[in-house]
Structure 1
């Protein structure tokens, strides 16, 4: 098994240019902080791409590599290298596209406050959590805290952005090639921010909404499972989302971080980022999924 080799878009402009034909699988990658190769990210925690392994030599040109990680799906519009390498007439032909997107959007939606700075309430369809006066009955479990109207807004946003991304793929030379996404593992809301002073992310949001601490883990699970089910549902609709393949990271057993911990714990470096052991576990399983699809797309035959 060989680790995925990673290049940046700038590496493609080197003289001499790298020989992409030396690899059986040539992939284009874009994503959030789970993919980012910025120095700050690499010094802080692990990278999922680093842990991908394949039976045959595989290469990824990672557009999240030396730039800021995506904070929103719509940031694809401000990722010119990725858009060019995905859709330009002179771009390489990719065997597949690797995506790590949607997680930052989910966190941002969960962080939406109940009120604006001027005290004006934020409409329920624009946030994922409910104020105490809006909680459902205890019989609903942790779903009583969750805004289904807000989830519908988020789901519509993510779905539309993915359709747009697939249309960009089909404008270029890699039309119809598989797009591989992962869902996200379930984080433990806790006071564990990043070394750059960002975060924690879910912990202050759940506190602000006065959700009981005993329910934090279950609320986190509810939101992440909603995202996983949404992505799998989109991938099942091959008419609207042709070539989309989703790996369910929630099915990979991970060691949860200890509640209340403020640093590296279990398979987590901080509240929402995996450490090396966490990345290893998810990447090994995702690698098998990716390679299985790639081999299926070529009938299991070596490319000439």
Structure 2
């Protein structure tokens, strides 16, 4: 007989601190307590309204307390004074967390893309077969190192003296392959945010024939940097990475809305998030860290 799958109860830190809470959102009535923080893939009450957490499934009742805010980046997450909820949740005020879920780095890559991608005038010696020749590698490496340093700071916060989660596992994910396209986040007919890579590639006059390959190069470099934190002699303690690249069907180049597994340029749709979450769910089961 297949094991029962539980949908998580996802609430904010403010709701977790409320004196009046419905039983499903009460830590006492949940077997697993997860603290989540991250970027727009975890956002509650944002655009898009779907997120990765809603798609996850567990083998016991699970409460996810989500500190993510619309537009959060991993850099902001390391500066905990900018997110009092996450800081409080990892203080003596916090709950006895079983797992920390972190989504970060993707927005930083997007935010810095204009500085990473060389303009037409700056890449006189570019080679259409060499994606590195379209990038300022010094800036790119600095962005990756800043992201890695932010993860290190989160580990330090987890293990600080008053933390209720000292030594508890941290689980993060890589991303998947964005396709630069004029597909912003929308609320009905209104553009809320984005597109993100499309204007950068257009302004830099990147040949459209390599848009997909160049975007893939950016995502791969980010993923490799994050994966390094869980590998080798200098790996972070109890820090785990799920490599989610290649999970989703890429959006069609030139499309302007929902395409295959993508709701817009950088966010999966609900079916896409479901595919990603299955890989994360499998990793959690493999690590045997929850009931």
Q: Which TM bucket (shorter chain)?
A: 0.7 to 0.9
Aligned residue pair count = 275
Counterpart position of 1:49:
53
Name structure 2 gaps, 5 residues minimum. Answer: none
Q: Does 1:32 align with 2:35?
A: no
TM-score normalised to structure 2 length: 0.88
| CA deviation after TM superposition for structure 1 residue 192, in Å | 0.6
Residues 140-194 of structure 1: CA deviation (Å, up to 9, x unaligned): 5222212221121112211211111111110112111111111111111001111
Superposition CA RMSD, Å? 1.9
Note closer, same or farther for the CA distance 1:291–1:281 as it changes in structure 2 (3 Å cut). same
Counterpart position of 1:70:
72
Deviation >4 Å, runs of 4+: 237-240
CA contact (8 A) 2:74 2:103 kept: no
Output aligned runs, 1:134-213, within 5 Å.
134-138=123-127, 140-171=129-160, 172-195=163-186, 196-213=191-208
CA contact (8 A) 1:26 1:59 kept: yes
Note closer, same or farther for the CA distance 1:240–1:232 as it changes in structure 2 (3 Å cut). closer
Task: Find the aligned partners of 1:135 and 1:228 in 2 and give their Cα distance.
Answer: 28
| CA deviation after TM superposition for structure 1 residue 214, in Å | 0.5
CA contact (8 A) 1:135 1:145 kept: no
Match of 1:128 among 80, 97, 116: 116
| CA deviation after TM superposition for structure 1 residue 75, in Å | 4.5
Task: Find the aligned partners of 2:72 and 2:233 in 1 and give their Cα distance.
Answer: 26
Q: Which has the higher helix share?
A: 1
Residues 3-43 of structure 1: CA deviation (Å, up to 9, x unaligned): 2221211222233455313322211001111111115431x
TM-score normalised to structure 1 length: 0.84
Counterpart position of 1:247:
242
CA contact (8 A) 2:119 2:204 kept: yes
Task: Find the aligned partners of 2:167 and 2:125 in 1 and give their Cα distance.
Answer: 44
Question: Residue 246 of structure 1: SS of its match in structure 2?
Answer: strand
Residues 54-89 of structure 1: CA deviation (Å, up to 9, x unaligned): 12222210112xx43404522442000111102x12
Q: Does 1:11 align with 2:6?
A: no
